[in-house]
Structure 1
Amino acid sequence: MTSTKIRMNGGKTHEVIRAEIISGQWVPGERIQPAVLAERYGVSTTRIREALTRLAGEGFATMEPNKGFFAPVLSLEELRDQTELRCRAEELGIELALARGDLAWESQLTAIHHQLSRTPRRGPHDPLHVADDWEGVHQEFHRTLLEPCKVPALLELSRRLSDSTQLYRRWAAPTTAASERNVEAEHQAILDAALARDAKLAADLLRSHYERTMDVVLRSGLAETATLPQV
């Protein structure tokens, strides 16, 4: 965890800590110290604790009585459940999106995919980890893909499940299992199916895409090595 001191608006505390957890600033199971964050962000420890309590409720941190707050740990059972839920939810989402999406949506999706394909997934300065710029466009591609379904609850569920699995993707990124995967080809196939308005194929490709993420985590061996003692 970097010790660089910054000053922020109190209303952004939750969003900033959430982003840093997702980006892997703490390893799975590592203790998150409110006093350190309060000093770094220039806000009160009460505000930090409120943000961390909220994040614990959202699944982005854990809270242990009389121990404190910790980065979430890897759970293969949880990942399997989240993956299956996302696959089933997005099967409906993509069916509705392809039925309702217009030409403007096609153009927007194509443009975002073009940006994604031109953004390096791993930068030369840190080749072991996924680049923040790529991750941002990646999230935007998947969000745009489902946006025409116009079901807010489904879109919010998809976003939250995506954020949760992002933790696993970040932690697995340095492994051989992750580097061998052709993510670019997967996204191209999903785009082609969406533009062809083939809902079944698009849903099948999304399921394969998400299950490959789960497979990378399984092959990485992180489940046996990532959890730290919570003391």
Structure 2
Amino acid sequence: MSQANPQPDARDLTLATTVHRRLREDILSGRLPPGQKLKLRDLAESYGAGASPMREALSKLAAEGLAEQLEHRGFRVAAAAPGQLDGLIRSRVLAECAALRESIRRGDAAWEEGLLLAEHRLHRVARSLDPHRFVTNPEWEACHLQFHQALLAGCGAPPLLAFCDRLREEARRYRALSNTLAYPGRDVAAEHAAIARATLERDAEQAAALLAQHYERTGAFVGADLGCGGE
């Protein structure tokens, strides 16, 4: 009588989900940089998980394109290739500028108030926790996300907003690289203020142009660095 294949332990599946979420956040935030080897033993110790849930989490990350499986050599964080960055920025510019123009056309007083509040909150929070070097401030990151979402919130097209959110999340690890390269030389606060001002003045072409430049500056900083480094 043949024995049935053992089913994955429920606890392992739950742990794999938790580890996947934590690894994904660490990759997107840049704490695990592009190209870094993901050694099973080291990860199991760092994330408090056994080999089985860790492999499950890594396989899922590979399916999402955030990790790469190396033949007989485990996993590594997916490379941040210049060509991928160019395509991502182009996609963001096309999608978000369309959503921004539609928000300017359709947005009501409540949308304007939401954008004003989001820009005010972002302006009041320090971008870095250290005045001398870049150290991510989680509060600023949260306000930054809310600002960019508020810009587009008036478009009245939830599927488009969901697509923009997905592109924004994919861009997070590239932006994490940009933060370390551009800080403090880049005046991001001034860029945000200019985008908000043009948007509230209902100047769709100027607002869209400023938003596109905002993303393209990130691409210029990161692309130059990627061109000098390895994979």
TM-score of the two chains, using structure 2 as the length reference:
0.83
Superimposed CA distance per residue, residues 1-37 of structure 1 (whole angstroms, 9 cap, x where no aligned partner): xxxxxxxx63433322211112222222011134433
- After TM superposition, list the pairs within 5 Å mapping 1:94-133 onto structure 2: 94-124=100-130, 127-133=133-139
Structure-1 residue corresponding to 2:185: 180
Q: Shift of the alpha carbon at 1:206?
A: 0.8
Q: Is the 8 A contact 1:28 1:226 kept in 2?
A: no
Gaps of at least 5 residues in structure 1 are 1-8
Q: Is the 8 A contact 2:38 2:76 kept in 1?
A: yes
What is the rounded CA distance, in whole Å, between the counterparts of 2:221 and 2:51 in structure 1?
37
Structure-1 residue corresponding to 2:75: 69
2:14 pairs with 1:29:
no
32-41 or 145-154, which deviates more: 32-41
2:217 pairs with 1:223:
no
- Percent identity between the two aligned chains: 35
CA RMSD in angstroms comes to 2.3
Structure-2 residue corresponding to 1:47: 53
* Bigger radius of gyration: 2
2:172 pairs with 1:166:
yes
Q: Shift of the alpha carbon at 1:103?
A: 1.6
**Equivalent residues, number:** 217
Q: Is the 8 A contact 1:98 1:148 kept in 2?
A: yes
Q: Is the 8 A contact 2:128 2:135 kept in 1?
A: yes
Q: Is the 8 A contact 1:74 1:226 kept in 2?
A: no
Question: Secondary structure of the residue that 1:135 maps to in structure 2?
Answer: helix
Change (3 A) 1:52 1:137: farther
What is the rounded CA distance, in whole Å, between the counterparts of 2:62 and 2:158 in structure 1?
23
Amino acid at match of 1:195: L
